[in-house]
Amino acid sequence: MPKKTIADVPLSGKKVLVRVDFNVPLDSAQQITDDRRIRMALPTIEKILAGGGRAILMSHLGRPKGEGVEPNLSLRPAAERLGELLGQPVAFAADTAGDDAREKVASGSNVVVLENLRFQVGEKKGDAAFADGLAGLADIYCNDAFGTCHRTDASMVAVPAAMEGKPRVVGFLVAREIEYLDDVIARPQHPFIAILGGAKVSDKIGVIKNLLGICDHVVIGGAMAYTFALAQGGQVGDSLVEPDKVDLAQDLLKQGGEKLVLPFDTHCGDAFAPDCNKQVVPAGKIPEGFMGLDIGPRTASHYADLVTHAKTIVWNGPMGVFEMPPFDAGTRAVAESIAASDAVSIIGGGDSAAAIEQFGFADQVSHVSTGGGASLAMLEGKNFAAVELLDRVD
Ligand code: 3PG
Ligand code: MG
């Protein structure tokens, strides 16, 4: 599915409408606590500027109601951070696609950031009039919002549809995400191992099913393992489980056979606290009054061993409560073994991306995705309408 990128189109004198994902975490004082998504969009923006074009950036932030401005979800702090990172002025349009946006674009600023798309009801509805307003601002459409590629919001689908006949391309971030999450997975080097963690089996069903078809091992950790333990008739004490997903876990166990690797031992505690009473027990033998909080040490070293022998590794979801030592040990062991490996390693967004950053290994893996839901959807093998409709390389 090779798509044209921003490097494939003439940019001189052109206005480029770029859908970015500046959905960054903010603290209560509206300070950005992690600007990775903004930094990852810089190569595309810098390419546009270096080519003599102008960039009009649009994004959502959070999940506002779609009934107008909610000041705590304004994109103004993201626009300010972008200005600092680029080292040049960034104009901010307070109304998304209205008079202020048209004025800021007409004023000749090289970079304009529009206010949160989701303040307008048309964004989530995929509304044509709203899309036309945005489409009319530019000569070229560029999708560099990987974290939102699984969405069909107006800025992702209706806007590029309304710009048919003009160049519609991917940015460098989306191109790179597709290269890893789609292309590498389509033609993996074996052994190919997927390590899946996190709280819920229900979030990962599609991913487990799809990866069981292409991986040599699908390795399970996190609270999701306790639902599998329940499905095998084990005892899970007070662990976080999904009793209504036990049937499904049984189906996955049947489908997976020996490919599906479950923990042997569990590090549990009698409270969700670092100073709780702790013990390591065999998986499926968690006593009443205790809850599983991490994979046990034997499991951690087996998983690290599987990683060491793999040529392609996908990791999505922590093995335990990695924010709360000592229950970070399982996640840390997996992260360390991935960092030490020469395999192609892809870290799904969300918690595993946060974990690999926290442990300081982010630059020792092949790719850390900027998408949470989007990277899962891609690992499920789904196609994205937002990418499908963009121009292909001839
Ligand atoms: C994300 O953070 O997952 C993306 O920015 C998409 O946000 P959404 O889940 O609110 O659509
Ligand atoms: Mg999300």
Mark whether 292 is an active-site residue.
Answer: no
Q: Which alpha helices (H) appear in the chain, and where do they start and end?
A: 36-50, 76-86, 99-106, 121-125, 128-135, 158-162, 172-178, 185-186, 201-212, 224-231, 246-256, 297-308, 329-340, 351-358, 373-379, 385-388
- Whole-number Å distance, alpha carbon 370 to ligand 2 midpoint, is 11
**Catalytic residue selected from 126, 269, 348, 350:** 350
Are 60 and 116 a contacting pair, CB within 8 Å? Answer: yes
Atom of ligand 1 nearest to the CA of 63: 10
In Å, what is the CA distance from 40 to each residue of 12, 32, 80, 303? 23, 15, 16, 30
Ligand 1 binding residues, C-beta < 6 A? 21, 23, 63, 147-148, 151, 372-373
Rg (CA), the chain: 23
Please identify which residue in the block is written with the tokens 């994004």. 59
Query: What is the rounded distance in angstroms from the CA atom of residue 193 to the CA atom of residue 161?
Result: 38
pLDDT of residue 184: 82
pLDDT tens-digit profile of 56-80?
Answer: 999 999 999 999 999 999 999 999 9
Mark whether 200 is an active-site residue.
Answer: yes
Instruction: Report the largest interatomic distance among the alpha carbons of the chain, rounded to a whole angstrom.
Output: 69
Which residues, by Cβ under 5 Å, contact ligand 2, an ion? 373
For ligand 1, atom 6, the nearest C-alpha belongs to 148
- Whole-number Å distance, alpha carbon 372 to ligand 2 midpoint, is 6
**Catalytic residue selected from 76, 373, 381, 382:** 373
Query: What is the rounded distance in angstroms from the CA atom of residue 60 to the CA atom of residue 80?
Result: 16
Atom of ligand 1 nearest to the CA of 145: 5
pLDDT tens-digit profile of 149-160?
Answer: 999 999 999 999
The residue to mutate among 22, 23, 203, having the most atoms of ligand 1 within 8 angstroms of its beta carbon, is 23
CB-based contacts of 141, cutoff 8 Å, min separation 6: 16, 17, 19, 135, 159, 160, 163, 166, 167, 168, 169, 390
Are 141 and 169 a contacting pair, CB within 8 Å? Answer: yes
Distance of CA 113 to the CA centre of its chain: 22
pLDDT of residue 1: 58
pLDDT of residue 385: 97
Residues of the chain with pLDDT under 50: none
Are 234 and 225 a contacting pair, CB within 8 Å? Answer: no
Are 356 and 323 a contacting pair, CB within 8 Å? Answer: no
Are 377 and 203 a contacting pair, CB within 8 Å? Answer: no
- Whole-number Å distance, alpha carbon 372 to ligand 1 midpoint, is 7
**Catalytic residue selected from 36, 200, 259, 311:** 200
pLDDT of residue 280: 98
- Whole-number Å distance, alpha carbon 265 to ligand 2 midpoint, is 31
- Whole-number Å distance, alpha carbon 147 to ligand 1 midpoint, is 6
Query: What is the rounded distance in angstroms from the CA atom of residue 179 to the CA atom of residue 342?
Result: 18
Q: Reduced to 3 states, what is the DSSP secondary structure of residue 187?
A: coil
Mark whether 320 is an active-site residue.
Answer: no
pLDDT of residue 330: 98
Q: Reduced to 3 states, what is the DSSP secondary structure of residue 58?
A: strand
Mark whether 37 is an active-site residue.
Answer: yes
Are 352 and 318 a contacting pair, CB within 8 Å? Answer: yes
For ligand 1, atom 8, the nearest C-alpha belongs to 148
For ligand 1, atom 9, the nearest C-alpha belongs to 373
In Å, what is the CA distance from 378 to each residue of 183, 290, 375? 11, 36, 5
